[in-house]
Amino acid sequence: MSAATAPQSGYPATLQSVMDQVLPNGGWEATALDGGMTNLNWRVTESGQERELFVQLMMPADRAAEVGILRDVQRLALGVAHDLGIAPATVALLDEPAAIVTEFVIASPLPEAGPDRARALADLSGMLRRLHAVPAGPEFQSLCSDGFIGARWMADQARRADPLKAQRLASTFALLDALEAERGPYTRTFIHNDLSVNNILVADKTYLIDWEYAGLGDPLYDLGDMLWKCTLSADEQRAVIANYAGEYDPAVHAIVVVYSWVGLLRETLWAAVAGAQGFSEFDHAGYFEDCLARLNAIAASEDFHWARSLLPHRAGLAS
């Protein structure tokens, strides 16, 4: 692609509108990036400059709210991430068109193995510990940031958006209710709430991106979310918990394992809701089936049954 003076031809109108606001007097060229499930991502280079930007074209606020995203909370989250130095610097967060622009970081998603993965997981443990210590009031409450409340909220959305898929998950809610009782009370803190491989960028340092779903929830939910989304091995799970908590605690591990199921239930419901949004660039139907298969596999696993046996309020409750 060649540089030109904005406005440009050959790019989506939404991207051109964003760049008109961010670089009103400058030229730029852009390359589409992979990885978006409900957003479209671009790498933008400013003409004649070394500066590069990451542009994420997002759903409008009303549609975003249907899948659990509150843009006002996202703004707060980006401010927290910037203050903690754990995310690339934000250049702009636009309402019309809905977009976030950050400094582009040359990095890779969390690798599947190797020393960079181990280092990144250790970094993440510390980053999450700092994030969860941030004072956060009710203004940080989002629609689905709490694991149990979020799963039920997403189920209501799924029943409206895709009743047939929602019905296939109807039998899971008795287990969800039981797990909530067995978990017992917890203090909600500010959490990231979407610790997928693509949201963990590894370079000389580790970054967390995509704060759309951040909000108030059980801090251990973040670890459970990372467990299944990053396919942590048993050794990695123990190392992450030890780094996060200061020492390995099997009781904490049990809660984290249970939250991997809770998070995957919400993700399965999310796939049903997002698929009904008509975002054709991602196969949400196939993703729903993959999530459902993994959900059932976790529930049937020895690790899950071990975890339930150690939950704080398990004694005296039915299986």
Per-residue pLDDT of the chain (319 residues; tens, 9 = 90+): 223 334 456 899 999 999 999 999 889 999 999 867 788 999 999 998 888 999 999 999 999 999 999 999 999 999 999 999 999 999 999 999 999 999 999 999 999 999 999 999 999 999 999 999 999 999 999 999 999 999 999 999 999 999 999 999 999 999 999 999 999 999 999 999 999 999 999 999 999 999 999 999 999 999 999 999 999 999 999 999 999 999 999 999 999 999 999 999 999 999 999 998 876 678 999 999 999 999 999 999 999 999 999 998 875 444 3
Whether the CB-CB separation of 45 and 29 falls below 8 Å is answered with yes
Kindly tell me the sign of the dihedral angle through the C-alpha atoms of 230, 236, 240, 241. positive
pLDDT at position 8? 56
- Total length of the chain: 319
Q: What is the DSSP letter of 282?
A: S
b/e sequence 217-226, b meaning 16+ C-beta within 10 Å: bbbbbbbbbb
Give the separation between CA 19 and CA 152, rounded to whole angstroms.
38
Triad 264, 244, 267: Cα angle to 5°: 10
pTM as predicted: 0.92
Give the separation between CA 214 and CA 2, rounded to whole angstroms.
37
**Rg (alpha carbons) of the chain, rounded to whole number:** 20
Whether the CB-CB separation of 122 and 236 falls below 8 Å is answered with no
Among 291, 260, 262, 296, CA closest to 275: 291
What crossing angle do the helices spanning 234-245 and 219-229 adopt, rounded to 10°? Answer: 160
In CATH, the architecture of 14-103 is 2-Layer Sandwich (3.30)
Q: Helix or strand or coil: residue 30?
A: strand
CATH topology of domain 115-310: Aminoglycoside 3'-phosphotransferase; Chain: A, domain 2 (3.90.1200)
What's the 3-state SS for 9-21? CCCCHHHHHHHHH
**Residue showing tokens 């993700």:** 267
pLDDT at position 279? 67
Domain ranges of the chain: 14-103, 115-310
